[in-house]
Amino acid sequence: MPVVACYCQDFLKADMQHVHRQIVSLRRWQPRVITQKRGEAERFPFPLKHLTVLPPLRWRHARRWWFRTVRREPLVIPAVRVRQLLEAVFRAEADVVHVFFGHIAVMLLPFLRVCPRPVVVSFHGADAGVDLRQAAHADLLREVFARASLVLARSEALLEDLAEAGCPRDKLRLQRTGIPLDDWPFVERRPPDDGSWHFLQACRLVPKKGLFCTLRAFAEVQRSLPEARLTLAGDGPLADELQREAQRLGISGRVDFAGFLDAAGLRAAMGRAHVFLHPSETPADGNREGVPNAMLEAMATGLPVLATRHGGIPEAVDDGQNGFLVAEGDAGGLAAAAFRLCADPGMYAAMAAAAREATQERFAREAQTAVLESLYDEARERGVPPRKTFSCGGNPALA
């Protein structure tokens, strides 16, 4: 079997279950993982014999400060790390190297310049938009595109962002999130007779998730449906500010801040919910969604979705079929969609069934694993791109 060496800088953070699923689902390719930090080992098991944890770099904090403060350029790895990565790739007998996340690939550019194996780089959302306004980062990202054999993205919207950023279209490939449907079974739900609708949003509590829009929309819903509840599952830097906003809106008694939930806890929360909310929006730093994993898991259980026309969301949510889509930041439109759904039991049942069907057709893990392995096949056949000399910000990068 061919071998793919998967580089994940952190293997893994708690919110990176999608990366673990992708790696352990491989069947025709043998995964080897190279990382700087092993975390969440019980939650995300992986054979130790196939895992390489690189030693910490000396002066890493000083180097980060130097690049950001003095040079004002993206941080890239030193020569010692390049040698360690090459040794790990050779020990793994890798046929292809897969670098997870575009901003990590920028950091690894000194390695990409000398790597003797084809490199695949996958973009998942924020890494296709954040920092692109900085000329130095944009230049280095274009070099990543040139050095990579293939560039993968989670949605058609992300593919377009990458093309606009300078990636040749002949290298771009769609590789969607794969959802293990057996882990997220369909739940038969009945609209509540007493108006006690339960709305759920599960995500990191960060600006791009549109959480303030969720609270404003729910405040409108709750005025007409006083028995309705909202659960916000997740943690993040906006937690305190969101709780203050719920108090300001007068809905704190009807909003549950559940914190981070593991897979079992999230399944239970989805089983209690009637509607899933995900009104993502683009913040000032350009951090956009691919296709949110929690939203796909909710759809797999039969939860209709109320969301926004943002990033890759419209590639999963068909407006009027398995949910409703409104413009970014449109709390009134989101509330109107909720009223429309809650008022029509027939529509609710049809949307629930359509939500499950959409995940089966477009996001089943087995099918997406087959797509990924075919892309590894293609990268191996394409080989390493011709070596070139690049000029980034006046500094030539010699292959």
d(CA 343, CA 197): 11
Please tell me the predicted confidence (pLDDT) of residue 133.
Answer: 58
Please tell me the predicted confidence (pLDDT) of residue 69.
Answer: 80
**Domain 3-178+365-398: which CATH number of 1.20.120.80, 3.40.50.2000, 3.10.20.30, 3.20.20.80:** 3.40.50.2000
Pair 331, 251: CB distance under 8 Å: no
Task: Look up the pTM and report it.
Answer: 0.89
Helix (H, G, I), strand (E, B) or coil at 151: strand
Please tell me the predicted confidence (pLDDT) of residue 241.
Answer: 98
Please tell me the predicted confidence (pLDDT) of residue 288.
Answer: 81
CB within 8 Å of 309: residues ≥ 6 apart: 325, 326, 327, 328
Give the bridge partners for 232, in sequence order: 201, 257
323-326/305-308 β-pairing: parallel
Please tell me the predicted confidence (pLDDT) of residue 398.
Answer: 37
Place of tokens 């303030």: 212
Q: CB neighbours (10 Å) of residue 268?
A: 11
d(CA 336, CA 330): 10
Please tell me the predicted confidence (pLDDT) of residue 60.
Answer: 78
Place of tokens 């929309």: 217
Give the bridge partners for 32, in sequence order: 5
Rounded to an integer, what is the distance from CA 150 to the centroid of its chain? 19
Pair 287, 130: CB distance under 8 Å: yes
SS3 content of the chain, % helix, strand, coil (to 5): 45, 20, 35
Please tell me the predicted confidence (pLDDT) of residue 127.
Answer: 60
What is the homologous superfamily of the domain 181-362 according to CATH?
Glycogen Phosphorylase B; (3.40.50.2000)
Please tell me the predicted confidence (pLDDT) of residue 71.
Answer: 79
DSSP assignment string, 88-130: HHHHTT-SEEEEESHHHHHHTHHHHTT-SS-EEEEE-SGGGTT
In eight-state DSSP terms, residue 70 is: I
C-alpha to C-alpha distances, 359 to 123, 165, 191, 267, 324, nearest whole angstrom: 21, 29, 22, 16, 16
Angle, vertex CA 311, rays to CA 316 and CA 155, nearest 5: 60
Pair 211, 205: CB distance under 8 Å: yes
Please tell me the predicted confidence (pLDDT) of residue 132.
Answer: 57
Q: Where are the domains of the chain?
A: 3-178+365-398, 181-362
* Residue-level pLDDT, tens digit, the chain, 399 residues: 999 999 999 999 988 999 999 999 999 999 999 999 999 999 999 999 999 999 999 887 888 788 878 777 788 999 999 999 999 999 999 999 999 999 999 999 999 999 999 999 999 876 655 555 567 788 999 999 999 999 999 999 999 999 999 999 999 999 998 999 999 999 999 999 999 999 999 999 999 999 999 999 999 999 999 999 999 999 999 999 999 999 999 999 999 999 999 899 999 999 999 999 999 999 887 778 889 999 999 999 999 999 999 999 999 999 999 999 999 999 999 999 999 999 999 999 999 999 999 999 999 999 999 999 999 999 999 999 987 655 544 444 433
Beta strands in 39-191 (DSSP E): 51-53, 96-100, 119-123, 150-153, 172-174
In degrees and rounded to multiples of 5, residue 31 shows phi and psi of: -85, 140
d(CA 85, CA 105): 13
Please tell me the predicted confidence (pLDDT) of residue 397.
Answer: 44
Fold match flag (3-178+365-398 vs 181-362): yes
Which residue, 89, 95, 87, 86, is CA-closest to 30? 95
CB within 8 Å of 300: residues ≥ 6 apart: 179, 181, 184, 185, 186, 355, 356, 359, 360, 363
Pair 158, 125: CB distance under 8 Å: yes
